[in-house]
Amino acid sequence: MPIRPANFADLLPAAHVCAKAFFDEDLFGQRIHPHRSAFPGDMYLFFLRQLRTDFFDGHTRIIVSHLKDNPATITGVAVWTRKGPGGARLSASQSWSAWFTGRFIIPIYNSLSTLFHPNRAADPSQLDVLERAGPFTEHYWKVPERLENWYLALLGTGPEYQGHGFGKELLKWGIERAEEEGICVSLVSANNKDGFYKRYGVDQEVGWASEGGEDNPLHDIAGGMILFSKRFGKK
């Protein structure tokens, strides 16, 4: 299935793909967007604003899949972030204009967009739930042999395109980068999706995004298995 790096125009259709893919998922759907049935047309705004931020993040690469005979029809999206010192080097290679846009223009643009086009499907108190939950599991990424990794922050394919290999190709993009560098892949699996990742070698179970007791805002969320691949090139 064909994939390519996203351009800025791809972000809007990619956001709509994510809204459909995660509409009833435990975290992005039920927790963050409890009013999605009343406002089904608003959920894409959450993903669009995050994708804009990611697009200008020097550590991050957005990859989209598309129909073979129609590159403009986006079928899936993956957000890959290079963690560790290698990520810092990757970010340092970013152009000044991209850095300035990501640091200043996009936050202002997203703020104005939120003001004039609020995401009525969301619970505002849950929009930052991932950031608040991060400290409970960040230690898993600080183990020396896992410090350098490509992290799959998001993977979604449109429901009508699932089962056709688009998700596999989007996953393989990060696996291939990790193989080239001799590092590992990491991710947090959605509920009942861990089997898919394990099939392609991201199969080391190290923890759960819900651990840490009731202080963790994700303590009652379904899924959230933290998975790493082996460190490629190492026995």
- Report if residue 87 sits inside a domain: yes
- Report if residue 213 sits inside a domain: yes
- Report if residue 95 sits inside a domain: yes
- Report if residue 69 sits inside a domain: yes
- Report if residue 233 sits inside a domain: no
Name the CA dihedral angle for 178, 158, 163, 225, rounded to a multiple of 10 degrees. 50
Distance CA 111, CA 140 (A): 32
Q: Which pLDDT value is given to residue 234?
A: 57
- Report if residue 235 sits inside a domain: no
Distance CA 37, CA 149 (A): 37
- Report if residue 101 sits inside a domain: yes
| Whether this model's pTM surpasses 0.95 | yes
Q: Are 53 and 104 in contact (CB under 8 A)?
A: no
- Report if residue 234 sits inside a domain: no
* Tens digit of each residue's pLDDT, the chain (235 residues): 899 999 999 999 999 999 999 999 999 999 999 999 999 999 999 999 999 999 999 999 999 999 999 999 999 999 999 999 999 999 999 999 999 999 999 999 999 999 999 999 999 999 999 999 999 999 999 999 999 999 999 999 999 999 999 999 999 999 999 999 999 999 999 999 999 999 999 999 999 999 999 999 999 999 999 999 999 875 4
Number of domain units in the chain: 1
Distance CA 162, CA 72 (A): 18
Q: Which pLDDT value is given to residue 235?
A: 44
Structural domain of 89:
3-228
- CATH code (residue 173): 3.40.630.30
